[in-house]
Amino acid sequence: MLPFTFQHIKGISSKKERELWRMGIASWDELEAAIAPQALLFEDRCNWGIQSILAQSRRAFQEKDVEFFCQRLPRQEHYRIALAFLPDTLFIDIETTGLSRFYDYITIVGWSIGGQYGVYIKGGDETPLVSAIQKAKAIVTFNGTLFDLPFLKQEFPHLDIPQAHVDLRFFSKRHGFSGGQKSIEKQLGLVRDAGIQDIAGEAAPILWHRYRRGDPEALKLLIEYNHADIEGMKFIFDKTARQLVQQNGLPKMEGMLEIFSDLGSKIVWYKTETEYSSGAIRITPYREKTCPFIRINDLIDINARQKLRVVGIDLSGSESKLSGWCFLDGSHAITNALASDDDLVDATLKVKPELVSIDSPLSLPLGRVSVDDDDPGRQTYGIMRYCERILKKRGVNVYPALIPSMRRLTARGIRLAQRFRKMGIPVIESYPGAAQDIMNIPRKRAGLEFLREGLAEFGIEGNFCQDRITHDELDAITSAVVGVFFWSGMFERLGNEIDPEEALIIPDLHVDPTSWRQRSVIGLSGPLAAGKTTVARFLIEKGYCYGRFSQVVEAVLKERGIPVTRQTLQELGEELHHDPGQRWLGHQLAKRFPKEGNVVVDGIRFPGDRALLIETFGPAFYHIHLQASPDIRKQRFYQREGTSTSFEVANTHNVEARVNELAELADKVVRNEGELSTLQMEIEALPIFKVEKVCQ
């Protein structure tokens, strides 16, 4: 169609081009004849420039200088280049394990040029693919702008992809056809062969995983599906190009269309060495690694005397529906399907986990206060959280926390997490689908048997491989596995620094977990005058950075211009505990600590404090609860405070009400009624105790 094109000439717009066509000026020769001095279409001073560009155009067309036309034609008109160089136009389509360039990869690349079909299979020889692209003057894709080409450029950065690109998704839309490729084919009247007619794009990853697991017929079917996509693209191109020509009034072109379909290709399968033909496709067993990229024993010591205990929950949006529940004891998984929050809490409390990992949004978008549309921040802050935006940018299909179908789940997840945390049990938010992608484990959409096998290859043991369990239970196992990644330090925290509540935990196979694993963060709890500050001072001398919850309260008192006394600290502490909340206090305190190095946290008063500190520091956190008799504590109190303040009043204040509950949660309970040296020796004997240079 290039010899009928005028838009590459300066001053000729699409509207002017159509006007010329309607006047019967439909080719370069006719335009050149029309710009004779006596013609009224152009002023004389324009004629020389037009004649020059027409001469260049003929030369470029003859020499197949595609770059000449690419630089001068609007991008949406590049289809004319493809029509002009039919044997050198490449139709290309990729299949991948998923939609994310961040986590997924190309499995096969199929292409057709000059009536030939070829395919690159991951791990195979890429030379034919490179050669075909080098030969091509133009390429045609369906949604290649957003999908195929970015994937190709990422995995094959050395490919020199032609500038002339026709994306049929957008080309078809210009002519009133929208939707996916299969939908447009049906709209245009194409019926695929019966063997692949019912295969959808979602099946491509499943077929690849079946091939990886030893089914060569699955790869053959995947290639046939890819080939059908490419032939369907030719059909779409021809049909839409014909409509375009008719709409624009170019009758001379009609007989020159329907030509890409004439260059239909066939799959040539390899048979034997003696029957080998060039370009024949040979199916060989999968040779690359099929198991997960990492195993559980690379993360934790599964044979340790004290095994890591993690509960994973794949939460449903309603207590009337079953949720998947998993107790991961080291590498051994026990699963169940439970309905109510009470059932989930009771089952979890019985196994006393270090951590609970829940597959559900556990927070609201920053600025929102409820899941409902009547939330005053609905219009300003939207329905999507920061972590979800990050995953979307990475190509992971994740639902916004507050779309209508997710609201009940989000509300339930938040309630359940709050309930656990108030009991001192730390909770993280996980997303099994993303975790499975990162670990190289097939998602449940690829087939539950592959997910089972992937978890077993990761090193998880249990009856889940033999017993018939639900997909929710399998996702609960993966949620628990995310907890293992968190505990080991091999994780990424997707969250907004402004609001740490938004954090979503996903595995990260490339992070260095050394500082996470080697750090020491000691938290001190106990009743009034039990010796918390004494222990804290000793740890400061050993290089620990110091922090206490009351520091945040002090800062607020100073902002308000209120004197800092025990009474004002307790009163404001109680106020802040309720609004904006104890977790807000904890996050404000955590911001004061350095990213690395040892820390001592003085004055833990609520079980929720303990939960938050574990969520912040993981296994580095060690909880010491100090105790002493009331008489000894009273004596110490008056020695320190004087008699102006009543010990009984201070000791029974509301902020001290739940301190004794922390004794049952502590890693170590220390009876502090003897000599200072005895207390120091007991602290130095703790497994978490470390000496570093003095904290700056």
Does 476 fall in a domain?
yes
For residue 281, tell me if it sits in a domain.
no
Inter-CA distances, 533 with 389, 594, 602, Å: 43, 20, 7
Check whether residue 83 and residue 164 sit in a common domain.
yes
pLDDT at residue 646, as a whole number: 84
pLDDT at 249: 65
pLDDT reading at 275 higher than 70: no
Q: What is the CATH number of the domain that holds 43?
A: 1.10.150
Exposed, middle or buried by CB within 10 Å (0-12, 13-18, 19+), for 380?
exposed
| 141 shares its domain with 240 | yes
558: tokens are 């100073």
Average pLDDT score over residue span 335-343:
97
Instruction: Choose one of 507, 536, 554: the last residue of a domain.
Output: 507
| Average confidence (pLDDT) over 409-414 | 97
Could you say which of 39, 63, 87 is where a domain stops?
63
Q: Has residue 73 been placed in a domain?
A: no
Please report the pLDDT score of residue 263 as a whole number. Answer: 85
pLDDT for 640 equals 84
Q: Is residue 220 part of a domain?
A: yes
Mark whether 607 and 672 lie in a shared domain: yes
Indicate if 154 and 245 belong to the same structural domain. Answer: yes
Average pLDDT over residues 640-648: 79
Total domain count, the chain: 4
Lowest mean pLDDT among 97-111, 133-147, 348-362: 97-111
Q: In a 10 Å sphere around its CB, with 0-12 CB exposed, 13-18 middle and 19+ buried, how is residue 268 labelled? A: middle
In a domain, 291, yes or no: no
Report the CATH number that the domain containing residue 146 is assigned in CATH: 3.30.420.10
Q: What is the CATH number of the domain that holds 596?
A: 3.40.50.300
The model's pLDDT over 426-452, given as tens digits with 9 standing for 90+, comes to: 999 999 988 888 888 877 766 678 888
* Residue 232 and residue 190 in contact, taking contact as beta carbons nearer than 8 Å: yes
For residues 604 and 31, what is the distance between their CA atoms, to the nearest angstrom? 86
Q: Are residues 239 and 305 in the same domain?
A: no
Whether residues 306 and 432 fall in one domain: yes
- 520 and 581 inside one domain: yes
pLDDT at 39: 46
Angle (CA) 194-195-196 rounded to 5° is 95
Structure tokens at 456: 């077993």
Do 8 and 112 fall into the same domain? no
Per-residue pLDDT tens over the stretch 490-549: 999 998 877 776 789 999 999 999 999 999 999 999 999 999 999 999 999 999 999 998
Residues 199 and 312 in one domain: no
Domain membership flag for residue 288: no
Are residues 86 and 159 both part of a single domain? yes
Omega prior to 580 cis, within 30 of 0: yes
Confidence (pLDDT) at 622: 96
- Token pair of 577 as six digits: 């505990």
Q: Which residue segment(s) compose the domain that 475 sits in? A: 296-507
Q: Is residue 439 included in any domain, yes or no? A: yes
With respect to residue 540, please indicate whether it lies within any of the assigned structural domains.
yes
585 and 482 share a domain? no
- Of 474, 507, 540, the domain-final residue: 507
Burial of 241 (0-12, 13-18, 19+ CB in 10 A): buried
Here the tokens at position 179 are 């939707």
Give residue 280's identity as a one-letter amino acid code: A
pLDDT band at residue 41 using 50, 70 and 90 as cut-offs: very low
Q: Are residues 221 and 86 both part of a single domain?
A: yes
Is residue 38 over pLDDT 50?
A: no
Q: How confident is the model at residue 253 (pLDDT cuts 50, 70, 90)?
A: low
